[in-house]
Structure 1
Amino acid sequence: MGIFKNRNFTLLFIGRILTNIGDSLYAVAAMWLVYSLGGSTLYTGIAGFLSILPRIIQLFSGPMIDRVPLRGLLVYSQLFQAVLLLVVPLAHYFDFLTVGLVLAITPILTTINMWFYPAQMSALPKILDKKQLTQGNSLFSFAYQGIDVACNAVSGALIVLLGAVALYLWNSLGFFIGALLFMQLRIKTTPRDSHNNEQKIS
């Protein structure tokens, strides 16, 4: 497709795929892990609830995203998630992994995503021509839904094969790669962005 000749779009699209995979897998891994550690379906339910609760933030994230540099938001959100995900395998290695730790990390990761996904969509008009914007949005939506379905289908098998803790480790690596991809983005500054920057300088 011609749209993939746009280097910025390709970087953003691959980064989105990696992020979608990571989000889908660690959501399932978290519920599996809290059940394994706590031995109760109550903890599994709490993990699921905590992964949904931060979605309220998405109502307020849109207006605020326009006020921050998009590339920085994309990069640092990935790095922060990568570091947070590493906490679980490190805690497992040093034998201090608990249900409480997993439950504490889960809503933080979801909260970061409530900023990350709108930032990606906000970046699209700045890296694509208007005639390519509809195609870009469609590809992003297809990637999100398709990956979510695929990961839900294979997540159980991956957890059995690799283990829930190992999935956290691999997801962390995926987010680090995503951050490296987003570092290479060149996002155009809109007149509004320039005006905001001038206000900050003055």
Structure 2
Amino acid sequence: MIGGLVPVPDPAPDPSKGSDQNNPDCVPATDQDGGQRSIFSDRNFVLFLVGQCITTQGLWIQKIAMSWLAWSLTGSALWTGVIAALNFAPAFFLGPIFGVMADRVDLRRTAMLLNLGQAAVSFLLMGLSYADMMTLPWMVALAGSMGILGSAMTPIRLSLVPVIVPRAFMNRAVAYAAMNFNISRLVGPAVGGVVIATWGTGAAFMINAISYLPMVFVISVVTIHMERAPDAKSRRIWTSLVDGANYALNHPMIRSVLALSCFVSLVGTGMVELMPVFAEAVYDRGVTGLGMLASSAGIGAVTSTFILSRISSDAIAYQKVTILGAFAAAVGMTGLGFAPWYELAVPLVALTGGGLTLVGVGSQTALQLTVDNRLRGRVMSFWSATSFGGMALGGTLLGAISEAGDIQYTARGSGVLILFAACVGLWRLYRIGALARSGALR
């Protein structure tokens, strides 16, 4: 027991669901001939994955456009970090509250409304950019608006995957959805760099605005395979939030994964948000150099998928992947801090990007495969709060530190800290393995 909180017991079986044969949640993963069915034979999942791919690519194209625009307007690493932080900081402060709501609301209707809201903000960004009316106050206001809408959408999105596919496909669906999002996080900025260099930031904002529309259509037509068991709406939000925090804090694997993911986001992904500073201030390569650095991070992310495609579908395996990614990111980030030439920085950013992808996919999937379905929205909101909140806080703090000194010194320090966190994570993994062998996790 931690801080007087009592672990949430496993839910009792719902007799209304009947047997596995009558429950669409338990559709077998075999075809009529007894062969193994592919997850891509499931219409719901294919539609959702395609829609998510389009939307998340647009999202990260916009993120880098906002970072570049902030740097162009201010020439300040601090303000570049602040604008990046505003895209993610609401997830830290409001994410857990939105997680409680995700366990209560109509997922389909809420997801459609949030996507339309994000599209509206992106169209406003596009208009201001094309009209050459963008100012720092506008950027602060609109980045904050996108951050609030995004922090509300994240637990909804993470809760959607398990309810649109049969249980037999859930492990693979969660893994593919996590890979898609985290690869987009690194490939999207690469595409964004090319778009900005060719057509300007207005085009990047327009692409993102349009990218939400396919997802609205997808959400409106997918079939829900199972009904979740949400908390009674009369229950207080604070009580529900405490239940979720209690569950996460008292589960060794969830606690360990959340801690490592948060720390890597704080000192690793936060540094990646400052790539415009590396491209311009360190290597004097401008937006073209930024596009190349972002592209190399994307190549690292794609390379990571070859590792991820060979991972067995169990939570421990994905926790190992998370730790491996932290070690890779530590090496890449430390090397970047010492790299005197742009040509050397490119492969080091690729290594960093690949490592961060492994951390992002590994941590998210490990949690999805472990969490009690009644608490999924809340626990996954803790993941988004620690991941995106860490990114926001890290981008701001690292930007401020870099403003006062050399950004490469900051990168070296970040790499060393990630290495330390990876070592702690490895030690925790052995501890969790010992608990599992003793039966303490059952």
1:1-202 aligned at under 5 Å gives the runs 2-56=38-92, 57-188=94-225, 190=227, 192=229
CA distance in 2 between partners of 1:40 and 1:191 (Å): 47
CA distance in 1 between partners of 2:173 and 2:228 (Å): 22
Mapped contact 1:71–1:183 kept (Cα < 8 A)? yes
Displacement, 1:7? 2.0
Displacement, 1:92? 3.4
Bigger Rg, structure 1 or 2: 2
Deviations 1:52-109 (A, max 9, x none): 3112122232221121111111111111111110002222344532221122111221
CA distance in 1 between partners of 2:224 and 2:153 (Å): 15
Letter of the structure 1 residue corresponding to residue 136 of structure 2: V
CA distance in 2 between partners of 1:108 and 1:144 (Å): 21
CA distance in 2 between partners of 1:3 and 1:143 (Å): 15
Mapped contact 2:58–2:188 kept (Cα < 8 A)? no
Superposed CA RMSD in Å reads 2.4
* TM-score normalised according to structure 1 size: 0.86
Displacement, 1:139? 0.3
Letter of the structure 2 residue corresponding to residue 125 of structure 1: P
CA distance in 1 between partners of 2:214 and 2:144 (Å): 22
Query: Relative CO higher for 1 or 2, CA cutoff 8 Å, sep ≥ 6?
Result: 1
Q: How many aligned positions are there? A: 197
Letter of the structure 2 residue corresponding to residue 157 of structure 1: V
CA distance in 2 between partners of 1:29 and 1:173 (Å): 15
Letter of the structure 1 residue corresponding to residue 165 of structure 2: L
Mapped contact 2:118–2:209 kept (Cα < 8 A)? yes
CA distance in 2 between partners of 1:90 and 1:125 (Å): 37
Deviations 1:151-197 (A, max 9, x none): 2333322211121111001110111222122222222462636x76x
Residue equivalent to 1:200: none
Partner-residue secondary structure (3-state), 2:229: helix
CA distance in 2 between partners of 1:63 and 1:142 (Å): 25
Partner-residue secondary structure (3-state), 2:222: coil
CA distance in 1 between partners of 2:181 and 2:196 (Å): 21
Displacement, 1:8? 1.9
Residue equivalent to 2:315: none
- Mark the runs of 5 or more structure 2 residues left unpaired by the alignment: 1-36, 234-442
Mapped contact 1:125–1:133 kept (Cα < 8 A)? yes
CA distance in 1 between partners of 2:77 and 2:117 (Å): 29
